[in-house]
Amino acid sequence: MGNESLGFIFLNALLINNFVLAMFLGICPFLGVSAKKDTALNMGIATTFVMFVSSMCAYGLNWLLVKLGIEFLRLISYIVVIASAVQLVEMIIKKYSPALFRALGIYLPLITTNCAVLGIAVFQTAKNYDLLQSAVYSVSAGLGFTLALLLMAGLREKLVLADVPSIARGTGMTLILAGLLSLAFMGFAGLGGGGD
């Protein structure tokens, strides 16, 4: 499994197996913060960044755990490392770029409980990716998450002006939109054939 080309990993995580629309990871922020395009974009960027950092940490950590023969501690150590990485990222951004911190501020702590972040760490371990593959995988999955969030925000901004039946004003309508988006993304499934 560990010998997939980088281009294939990129396409796979970005479009074919989009984290939100095909694998259902990170649905909470997807439904929660997709009401406006600019917040969606900020959230997407912050998540991509955290995914990259925690993917790299998880890679190093897994190497250490395997070396010591204590793989059963993997899950506990991953989640602790991710939570600390989020804290660390938050502090670094606050110190060096207050403007970026103001833009991302409230979203950063939320990312800890985003399943997409832990998902990245778990999947890259399951697929035996090496360091470079993990890096590409996490960045492209993050971009895929941002793409899905942006598309959804665009649709929801249009939806505000539409005449929707009264029972479908809440989450139900958002989920139907998500389903339609997911159907559209299934069209990318054919792309995977050539790269493997």
Partner 1 sequence: MSLSSKEEPLTLDTFVRGIWKENPVFVTVLGMCPTLAVTNSATNALSMGAATLFVLLCSNVLVSMLRKSIPKQVRIAAYIVVIASFVTVVDYAIQAISLQVYEALGAFIQLIVVNCIILGRAEAYASRQTVLNTAVNSVGTGIGFTLALLCLGVVRELLGAGTLFGARILPEQFQPWVLMLLPAGGFFVLAGWLLLIDWMNIRKERRALEQQGATVHGQ
DSSP character at residue 169: S
Sign of CA dihedral 96, 115, 145, 9: positive
107 binds partner 1 (CB under 8 A): no
Select the residue interacting with partner 1 from 98, 154, 179, 187 (CB under 8 A).
Answer: 179
In this structure, the number of other CB atoms found within 10 A of the CB of residue 119 comes to 17
Q: Does 31 bind partner 1 (CB under 8 A)?
A: yes
Which residue number, 132 or 168, has a Cβ lying nearer to partner 1?
A: 168
- Rule CB under 8 A: say whether 118 interacts with partner 1: yes
- When asked if residue 70 is in the footprint of partner 1 (CB under 8 A), the reply is no
Under rule CB under 8 A, residue 24 binds partner 1:
yes
Q: What mask of x and - would describe binding to partner 1 in positions 121 to 160, judged by CB under 8 A? A: -xx--x----------------------------------
CB 39 within 8 A of CB 33: yes
Least distance from C-beta 71 to partner 1, angstroms? 10
Regarding 1 and contact with partner 1 (CB under 8 A), the answer is no
Q: Which amino acid is at 172?
A: G
Q: How many helices (H) and strands (E) does the chain have?
A: 9, 0
Helix or strand or coil: residue 154? Answer: helix
As measured in angstroms, the least distance from the Cβ of 170 to partner 1 is 6
Alpha helical stretches, state H, 19-73 = 27-32, 37-68
Cα-based distances in Å from 148 to 94, 159, 166: 27, 16, 26
Q: Which residues bind partner 1 (CB under 8 A)?
A: 21-28, 31, 72-73, 75-76, 79-80, 83, 113-115, 117-119, 122-123, 126, 166-168, 170-173, 175-176, 178-180, 182-183, 186
